[in-house]
């Protein structure tokens, strides 16, 4: 792994006695400000780059800073994680607590915030060692841009263990954490349910395929490189059992760039799941070629319920897409109940104003359950960035600030064919076309889940039958109500409302009279909330995550010793869902 250290210091003088704060950058996030927050770049994956034009149908949710939690779980020193603090929270925390080390993780668009945080640390906690990591470490001239003691690139666990004098080769401890919080759709807050919320699982980081634009692959060494936290299927199975027991979950969000690439591990996991009758559900990322190398029985047996695939573009030359009919692949997966998140790129080398509609039509024709569109963006650290840097095509920060180079606004380089900010409109056009033709993602997801149930409800293997039974439970009531509400919402759009009507009839046929009675009752309730949500959105409502302040066991012990109690309680489950700013609705 590449590790860059500004100072020659290799072990902190206090070792595992050092008091550590790990922090994400401060909010608010979904508003334009001088620190680099942008309204169109909220702290939400789906609203940011997947369902951004779907209005009240957009899936709203937040994800924790898993890298920080992973670090905390593997640090023996007293360690506090501050996730999504406000600037005031951050200042108060470093004023009130004698930290020896303060680590900040960030992406490049938030570099202005990290710079500000470093200045504040120097002011309020001058003795603290400042460590900066995450994607920001690849920013050009980062060392001169902000005042940190160490910039860490790549595997932070190994780096921290070395810095604290811990055993670098000790087994990785996995944090026990749910995958998301604050979920909300159609104006309704989705309650956190232990058996329905997925836990996060991080088997590896990095991807050896090393596509030219992929910053995550680049961060962990690029082509041919990755870091396995759990080498074997047995290790992975063991950690999954621990998470299952600890969090009382049966589904996992597998945060691994290309989980199925590690075939031996995946197939051993399948064996163990079968032996131990584990009916788990896995949400994974996988490149198309790798996915296609598995049989559908293997995928279903592994409990794959959701997969994120890079479709990139019709004419793209990526090896991972060679010999893959991506439309056929998507259709096959969906027909087995596997929800697909497709990811397409706008602005590849051969894209022009003349062919952009063809590019968009190709993407939309996949009819994936969710579709991410991103601008072809050379991020520092990637081969694509290097290529543009050499060609002198990168725009200076004065023309395109790094806070705006997040892939949902403008190119950070001069494109051969797309000029004068046209890309912004092309990107929005792609999102709208997908939404207009294929309907809300929630509708598509329900349709795929129903297909899975219809196919597998009578499966001979209890494990598979049971998973589909569990997975499909909300379709009998709440989701049927959602489809009823969608049908009403689109009553003046016959193309879409006919799709909703057909799906609703199929659900009634499949689940019977109870669903037929419940759907309109629940549907009316949802419709009221949807209307209120649309009104809120028109009024400019933005969604912000609540903040978390969590200590590890060593930090709790230290605090109890000093104060006889813990100053700030650790939330057992994700914090309460924030109330919308405008209370005119729910
Ligand atoms: S296959 Fe996906 S994760 Fe792997 S390098 Fe390419 S874009 Fe990144």
Question: Which of 191-195, 207-211, 329-333, 401-405 has the weakest average pLDDT?
Answer: 191-195
- Cβ(388)–Cβ(413) below 8 Å: yes
Q: What is the mean pLDDT of residues 197-209?
A: 96
Residue 221 Cβ < 6 Å to ligand 1: no
Q: pLDDT-based confidence at 193, cuts 50/70/90?
A: confident
CA 212 to ligand 1 centroid distance, Å: 9
Rounded distance, CA 380 to CA 387, Å? Answer: 11
Q: Is 209 in the pocket of ligand 1 (CB under 6 A)?
A: yes
pLDDT above 50 (res 574): no
Query: How confident is the model over 415-463, as pLDDT tens digits?
Result: 999 999 999 999 999 999 999 999 999 999 999 999 999 999 999 999 9
211 CA → ligand 1 middle, Å: 5
516-539 residue pLDDT tens = 999 999 999 999 999 999 999 999
Closest by CA to 550, choosing from 84, 18, 121, is 84
Looking at residue 372, its pLDDT comes to 98
In the chain, the percentage of residues whose pLDDT exceeds 70 is 95
Lowest mean pLDDT among 182-196, 273-287, 327-341: 182-196
Which residue's CA is the nearest one to ligand 1's atom 5? 210
Nearest atom in ligand 1 to the alpha carbon of residue 216 is: 8
| Ligand 1 closest atom vs CA 258 | 3
Predicted local distance difference test score (pLDDT) of residue 568: 53
- Write out pLDDT tens, residues 556-567: 998 888 777 666
Q: How confident is the model at residue 569 (pLDDT cuts 50, 70, 90)?
A: very low
For residues 305 and 471, the answer to whether their CB atoms sit within 8 Å is: yes
Predicted confidence band at 377 (pLDDT cuts at 50, 70, 90)?
very high
Q: Tell me the average pLDDT across 71-100.
A: 96
The bridge status of strand 251-254 relative to strand 281-285 is parallel
The predicted-structure confidence for 491-521, as pLDDT tens digits, reads as follows 999 989 999 999 999 999 999 999 999 999 9
- Report whether pLDDT(547) > 60: yes
Place of tokens 């290799």: 10
Gap from CA of 208 to ligand 1 centroid (Å): 8
Nearest CA to ligand 1 atom 3: 257
pLDDT score recorded for residue 4 = 46
Instruction: Using a pLDDT cut of 90, give the percent of the chain over it.
Output: 90
Predicted confidence band at 573 (pLDDT cuts at 50, 70, 90)? very low
Beta strand pairing call for 181-185 and 251-254: unpaired
Q: Give, for ligand 1, the residue of 212, 258, 259 to mutate: max count of ligand atoms closer than 8 Å to Cβ.
A: 258
Q: Has residue 570 got a pLDDT over 50?
A: no
Taking alpha carbons only, the member of 346, 362, 537, 342 closest to residue 424 is 346
- Maximum separation of any 2 CA atoms in the chain, in Å: 71
Output the residue whose Cα is nearest ligand 1's atom 8: 214
Q: Is the CB of 257 under 6 A from ligand 1?
A: yes
Residue nearest (by alpha carbon) to ligand 1 atom 1:
287
Beta-strand relationship, 181-185 and 60-62: antiparallel
What are the tens digits of pLDDT across the range 106-142? 999 999 999 999 999 999 999 999 999 999 999 999 9
Nearest atom of ligand 1 to the alpha carbon of 210: 5
- From the CA of 204, how far away is ligand 1's center (Å)? 13
Residue 281 three-state SS? strand
| CB of 320 sitting under 6 A from ligand 1 | yes
Please tell me the pTM assigned to this model. Answer: 0.93
Residue 1's pLDDT is what?
Answer: 41
Provide CB contacts within 8 A for 319, sequence distance 6+: 209, 289
pLDDT over 70 (residue 575): no
Query: How far away, in angstroms, is 293 Cα from ligand 1 center?
Result: 16
Query: Does the pLDDT at position 303 exceed 70?
Result: yes
* Arithmetic mean of pLDDT, 317-332: 93
For ligand 1, pick from 223, 284, 320 the residue to mutate: most ligand atoms within 8 Å of CB: 320
Q: What confidence score (pLDDT) does residue 3 get?
A: 45
| CA torsion, ordered 525, 528, 532, 537, to nearest 10 deg | 80
- Please name the residue whose Cα sits nearest to atom 6 of ligand 1: 211
Q: Is the pLDDT of residue 42 over 60?
A: yes
- Average predicted confidence (pLDDT) for the chain: 93
Ligand 1 centroid to 206 CA: how many Å?
8
């Amino acid at each position: 792994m590449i590790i860059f250290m500004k100072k020659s210091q290799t072990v902190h003088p206090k070792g595992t006695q050092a008091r550590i704060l790990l922090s994400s950058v401060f909010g608010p996030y979904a508003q334009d400000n001088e620190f680099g927050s942008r309204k169109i770049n909220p702290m939400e994956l789906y609203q940011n780059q997947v369902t951004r034009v779907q209005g009240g149908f957009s899936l709203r949710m937040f994800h924790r800073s898993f890298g920080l939690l992973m670090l905390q779980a593997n640090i023996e020193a007293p360690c506090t994680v501050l996730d999504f603090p406000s600037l005031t929270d951050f200042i108060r925390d470093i004023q009130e607590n004698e930290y020896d080390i303060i680590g900040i993780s960030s992406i490049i668009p938030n570099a202005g915030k990290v710079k500000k945080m470093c200045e504040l640390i120097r002011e309020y906690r001058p003795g603290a060692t400042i460590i900066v990591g995450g994607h920001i470490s690849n920013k050009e001239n980062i060392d001169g841009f902000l005042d940190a003691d160490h910039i860490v690139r790549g595997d932070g666990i190994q780096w921290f263990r070395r810095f604290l004098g811990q055993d670098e080769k000790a087994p990785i401890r996995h944090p026990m954490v749910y995958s998301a919080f604050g979920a909300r759709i159609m104006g309704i807050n989705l309650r956190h349910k232990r058996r329905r919320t997925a836990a996060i699982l991080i088997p590896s980081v990095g991807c050896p395929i090393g596509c030219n634009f992929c910053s995550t692959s680049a961060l962990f060494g690029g082509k041919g490189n990755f870091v396995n936290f759990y080498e074997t299927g047995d290790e992975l199975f063991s950690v999954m059992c621990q998470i299952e027991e600890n969090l009382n979950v049966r589904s996992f969000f597998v945060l691994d760039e290309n989980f199925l690439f590690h075939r031996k591990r995946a197939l051993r996991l399948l064996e163990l799941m079968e032996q131990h009758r584990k009916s788990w559900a896995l949400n994974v990322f996988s490149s198309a070629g790798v996915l296609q190398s598995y049989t559908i029985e293997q995928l279903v047996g592994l409990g794959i319920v959701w997969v994120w695939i890079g479709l990139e573009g019709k004419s793209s030359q990526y090896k991972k897409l060679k010999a893959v009919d991506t439309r056929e692949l998507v259709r096959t997966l969906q027909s087995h109940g596997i929800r697909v998140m497709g990811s397409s790129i706008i602005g590849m080398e051969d894209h022009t104003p003349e062919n952009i509609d063809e590019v968009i039509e190709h993407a939309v024709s996949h009819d994936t359950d969710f579709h991410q569109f991103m601008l072809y963006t050379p991020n520092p650290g990637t081969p694509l960035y290097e290529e543009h840097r050499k060609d002198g095509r990168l725009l200076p920060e004065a023309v395109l600030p790094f806070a705006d180079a997040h892939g949902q606004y403008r190119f950070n380089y001069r494109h051969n064919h797309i000029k004068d900010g046209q890309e912004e409109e092309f990107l929005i056009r792609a999102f709208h076309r997908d939404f207009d033709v294929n309907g809300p993602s929630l509708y598509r997801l329900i349709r795929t889940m129903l297909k899975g149930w219809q196919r597998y409800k009578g499966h001979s293997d209890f494990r598979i039958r049971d998973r589909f039974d569990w997975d499909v439970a909300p379709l009998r009531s709440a989701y049927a109500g959602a489809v009823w509400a969608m049908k009403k919402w689109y009553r003046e759009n016959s193309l879409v409302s006919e799709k909703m009507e057909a799906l609703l009839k199929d659900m009634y046929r499949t689940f019977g009279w109870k669903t037929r009675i419940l759907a309109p009752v629940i549907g009316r309730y949802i419709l009221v909330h949807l209307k209120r949500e649309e009104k809120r959105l028109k009024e400019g409502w933005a969604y912000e995550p609540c903040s978390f302040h969590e200590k590890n066991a060593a930090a709790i012990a230290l605090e109890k010793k000093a104060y006889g109690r813990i100053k700030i309680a650790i939330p057992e489950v994700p914090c309460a869902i924030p109330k919308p700013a405008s209370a005119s609705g729910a």
